Structure 1
Amino acid sequence: MQSEIPDDWQFELTEHHHKPVILIRFPYDKEGLTLVRRLTGVRWSQSRRAWYVLDTPMYRQRFGLQTELAGKEVLSQIHPVNQPALERFIQTLQLKAYSPSTIRTYRNEFAQLLYLLKDKLVDDLTVDRLRDYFAYCINKLDLSENTLHSRINAVKFYFEKVLQRERFFMEIPRPKKRIILPNVLAINQIEKLFAQLENLKHKTMIYLAYSAGLRVSEVVNLKIKDIHSERMVINIRGAKGKKDRIVALSEGILELLRSYYTTYKPTDWLFEGQYAGEPYSARSLQSLFHRAKEAARIRQDVTFHSLRHSYATHLHEAGADIKLIQELLGHNDLKTTLRYTHVSQRTLERIKSPFDALNLKKG
């Protein structure tokens, strides 16, 4: 099987749509295109400009990639000598009130190092040995920049926060992060997407997400008390980074919310799930978005989060100040918000291609 894969194919282990995947790149030709399309479950990513498959042991073996055990599997195979280190690591993360998802990510990344060490005590590692380990992650495991950053952060946390070895990582360089511009829907695409929504509840959730630039988790975690119609604002509580923020409430959305409230009569959560007293499932809302996207025949590789990207970009195109957009989105760093200026028509419309200045014969 592995011999079928051409030598000029390149692979990258990364995450896409919150799932571990293997990106596949190769020189464009009919033979390569035919071969890649034979792979079970292969898909094209417009944002990454690459084909991809789910990151599975089968595909790692087929592509000749180094394999790592999955998170839960590796946890059960850490040598007893390093089990206390893992326990102190998790406890410190909990005491510092890190989010469950961050604790899970850090735990799994740190566990990969502990598993590889076998019976060697992690506390005895030197800076040079850690440099060698991260080089191994790049050269043998072929980890993506984002995954490698997570692993470095996890190991750094252990040595500097658990063992209290200050500035232990000063001599370990970090890989340069790949800059990926956000995928943005045009206004007419937003309208086509919205036109596919007939159910009042579904319509209210997705309209609300775009109208205020909300993450999927922020939509499903809204409570009735978070909507302030008198002040025309929405309170977003405990968002990413454990931050509260206030966003504007659209007049059109307020009318839709009133109609929704009259019909569904929620009691606590604004959008209740299948069972009483539980919020709507984030995964169900994401699936709902993808069904509407497919029905609208939108071919770009967009996700529910693209509604937030589109909100920010459309605000910028309408003349909103970039600092205001930063506050509305809850970004700590202005650099994160500035990405939207790179995909904004307000910026691009000032650019005239030199091609338009050429004196060419028509036809």
Structure 2
Amino acid sequence: MKWSAKIITHQNEKRIAVYFEKTPDLIARIKMFEGARWSQSLKCWHVPFTDENCIRFKIDIPISRTPSAEVMVQITSFQYYLKSKRYSKNTIKTYTDALKSFLVFFDPKPANEITNDDVIKYNNQYVLANRFSASYQNQIVNSIKLYFSSIQNKAIIVDKIHRPRPEHKLPNVLSKEEVKTILNAPTNIKHKMMLSLIYSCGLRSGELIALKPANIDSKRNIVLIQNSKGKKDRIVTLSSKILEMLREYYITYKPILYLFEGQKSGNPYDARSLQQVLKQAIAKTGIKKPVTLHWLRHSYATHLLESGTDLRYIQELLGHNSSKTTEIYTHVSTKNIQQIKSPFDDL
């Protein structure tokens, strides 16, 4: 989804205006945001002005009060620490924004006097009062814990900072027939190749975009995924059918640096353009589900499980640190559930 966004005041209320090409698919997506409304006078969709939406639409979060010099000293120290630990730019921005709102909330109280009771107060009077999600609260907790455990001499007990109760959401999974329909929809070989590789290797979209021709080992039938989430490398199996498609693609496009390049040679394919490729494919299929690229990864893992692949191997293929993360696919696999007979059939 290609879009731009800015902060506006509409009917005496601060909102975030979102501008994008008005297609039925994108309009359906924006409607999914809580509080999204269309303005006839402004000719745009707009969503509530919240920290979450600022992060979602890449708008710098305004701080209600100007941070004091002491707060900025703490933020700068935290940034230096994160950079030295080689955190990504996005993580550094997310963590420092979260910490800034936390420290400004208590300013002028010194950071080394903040206690666990203050964290509870912040959660109730800021996070919950603004109806921020559990995932956003988790981001704040991550930032606070890392800051107080690494930078600040404190009265706070880091291990006692509690997280919100976890949400137990099941991954979204497509049937093999739906996946096949989606992968066959694009007529452009590059578009078909990208979507097929995501599903056939269980890749994250960022991993696909970062692939280079050298990552494809045709002799061993593997793909080397480098520096993925958690700065880990891993290998995944390469389908023989995918290998044939890759050879045809390579002859046609002759990529220079990245396996999938954008309009300018040597530059990686744009992440938002990749999302648009999927949306265009979905539009051709008639599938009404709000499919995302990550659904293809979920479907890959579930289909492996249903075909009898050991959960430990699936964990390695997906690059999960914990087997508990991978075990969630046992809850969406229909292999055994479909064998259960409903008592309704005996009535």
Q: TM-score range by the shorter chain?
A: 0.7 to 0.9
The residue that corresponds to 2:292 in the other structure is: 303
Contact kept in structure 2, 1:326 and 1:334, CA below 8 Å: yes
Counterpart residue type for residue 164 of structure 2: P
Question: Which of 47, 56, 66 does residue 48 from structure 2 map onto?
Answer: 56
- Aligned 8 A contact 2:302 2:333 in 1: yes
Give, in whole Å, the separation in 1 of the partners of 2:246 and 2:65.
Answer: 48
1:318 aligns with 2:307: yes
Matched, 1:134 2:123: yes
Mapped to 2, the partners of 1:314 and 1:166 lie a distance apart of 49
Which residue of 1 is the match for residue 82 of structure 2? 93
Task: Give the TM-score normalised by structure 2.
Answer: 0.82
CA displacement at 1:22 relative to structure 2 = 5.2
Mapped to 2, the partners of 1:256 and 1:308 lie a distance apart of 19
Give 1:81 deviation, angstroms: 2.4
Q: Are positions 1:40 and 2:29 aligned together?
A: no
Distance 1:318 1:126 in 2: 51
Q: 1:183 to 1:54 in 2, by over 3 A?
A: farther
Q: Which 10-residue stretch deviates more, 207-216 or 112-121? A: 112-121
Identity %: 39
Equivalence map 1:1-363=2 (5 Å): 23=34, 39-40=37-38, 55-57=47-49, 71-74=60-63, 77-163=66-152, 165=154, 168-358=157-347
CA separation of 1:263 and 1:227: change in aligned 2, threshold 3 A: same
Residue type matched to 2:149 in 1? E
1:145 alignment partner AA: A
Residue range with higher mean Cα deviation, 297-306 or 219-228? 297-306
Distance 1:155 1:71, change over 3 A: farther
SS of the equivalent of 2:78 reads helix
One-letter code aligned to 2:82: L
Deviation at 1:251, TM superposition (A): 0.2
Q: Distance in 1 between matches of 2:65 and 2:237?
A: 48
Number of the residue aligned with 2:7: none
Query: Gapped runs of 5+ residues in structure 1?
Result: 3-17, 25-35, 42-52, 61-69, 359-363
3-state secondary structure, aligned to 1:345: coil
| Residue range with higher mean Cα deviation, 118-127 or 190-199 | 118-127
- In the alignment, the residues of structure 1 paired with residue 292 and residue 139 of structure 2 have an alpha-carbon distance, to the nearest angstrom, of 23
Post-superposition shift, 1:177? 1.2
